[in-house]
Structure 1
Amino acid sequence: MSRYSTLLGTGGYLPETILTNDQIAQTVETSDAWIVERTGIRQRRIAAPHETASSMAEIAARQALDAAGLEPGDLDLIIVATGTPDRIFPSTACLLQQRLGVRECASFDVQAACSGFIFALSVADQFIRAGSARRALVVGSEVYSRIVDWSDRATCVLFGDGAGAAVIGVSDQPGLLSTHIHSDGQYQNLLYAPNPANNNGLRDEGRFLKMEGNEVFKIAVNTLGRIVDETLEANGLDKSDIDWLVPHQANIRIITATAKKLRMPMARVVVTIENQGNTSAASIPLALNEAIRDGRIRRGQTVLMEAFGAGFAWGSALLRY
């Protein structure tokens, strides 16, 4: 019997605190109009002091398990995608495992920045197809507010906090049709977050995220166009066969460029960036969860998810929900 992965349930969590563009404009030289025009963002959520990647992941994970009709003990694999872990080690996945009261199932983190959820989903899919797991929890959880320089106009307007989760399980019918992941480390200095505890003899890079926004934008648009073509070709599909695009929520201009590549109207693109900002590895599962729960994405529809992030690392996942 062939083994495939299928999506069983999703969940999400956003912190209560809302930070608007007007509030940011009180501390740096910017405006609501400037931010909206260039990014599509109007507000973002900011984690409370007691909240962490693992605590937010727990809330999203329990929602996803409830939606799947499962208990934490039914899991045999937990993967967390995060660039803002609670600790360097143990993994945030192990901390989440403890929060869920699960013991012994494999739990580990994946670090692929904004593409982290796609990478983690791809890994979980391989475990299930190989027969090494039957039910996997995949979570993207980020607290970027703690690695952003709030005096840097170029980056502080972009990011927000949150967590999204998905539970996938084994099926004899294709659900997760394919995943495609790529990386190219030659661009590492265009978007990165330093580790202030270990600079390995390099210059002191501080503690905040660094980004060359214009360069990242240009490469992202071209690269995402290629991953769309790769995904469609691998599955023998036409652009018209895609019902929904669920993109990483980095910039509305990147999202609209990808939709144009697919000849897809924006009404069939799930966009959350306006009220959430860029939540990195959490953005795709948060958007997917929102569109499933509000009834836009329905069973039997074909969903394309794609992301681009630091590394550079980029990828896609094609889902028949």
Structure 2
Amino acid sequence: MPDSPLSAEAPAGRPLLSLAGLTPDDLGFVADLASEFGRDPGRFAGLLAGSRVGLLFTAPSTRTRTSFWSAATTLGCHIIHFGPGDIQVSTGETWFDTGSVLATYLDAVVARTNGPQADLEEMATAMPAVVNALTKEEHPTQSVADLSALREYFGPDARPGIAYLGPVNNTARSLAQLVSLRDGMRLDVYSPAGHGLGEAELVELNRLAGREAVRQFDTIPAAPEPVDAVYTCRWQSMGSAPEGAGEGWIEAFRPFAVSRETLRLFGDGKPAVFLHDLPAIRGQEATSDVLDGEGSLVARQVFHKRSAAAAALIWTLRGRDIG
């Protein structure tokens, strides 16, 4: 842990930086919290009354930032917003020193940086109650929202199989961690060569699961193993082409685009349901009739981002002690 003259006794709390840091039982508890909040947010009104929460968003966000604000408001928190120019890491201060300072004033920080996961890990050594609202590597609360939407559709005890199509990004990585922790779920990743999970990462996910929970392919077969849901993400994360993609990359990615026919192919004749974390570039990674069509869970994923945000805040600040 770095030494700093700014260090102060940090408030009580626990980080939620990665789903890989949870046990299966922890994940089940957080997932149940999110589902219960989604059904009846009024039941949780004021649960965290008086808690001081910083929303630190140094990268663009529509849904995640607004959903955390909405959840924190319902829970009774006092909220302060930080933009990219509002904290001194922009002038060279370390994330540890920033965390030390914020720990003096706040009970929790929700941070979205699109930067290295290590930045939030460093801040959390000084300010334990840090929620990862997106880094370059992971997006854990999105996966909790996804699970809430899936449980709502298939039932709370369902363990749906999922096919993920497209480049592996922070959302896909957290989805793989979720599947590894949730016994009975399966994830088949279909990514262009060089844009999937690393081999060591894939081995670790399946070691964590104690089974072959995550498989990976670099082509779409004529008859893929059927799944219950097809998931894709925006190919151009934060408006940029996938890392390492060369000129003409869109043509190489085109076979991984999702159409109604894709849903029928993966659903073994009966269309699989569809998920997308948004924002979307319509007509690129998915067609509009998929995004808006029958069997799309996209609107419920958006709805449950607030559910996931509430569950993350409760878990971070109160753990299982929710009265």
TM over 0.5, shorter chain = no
Q: Give the structure with the larger strand fraction.
A: 1
**If the length of structure 2 is used for normalisation, what is the TM-score?**
0.29
When Rg is computed on C-alpha atoms for both structures, the one with the higher figure is 2
Indicate the structure whose relative CO is greater, using CA pairs within 8 Å and at least 6 residues apart.
1
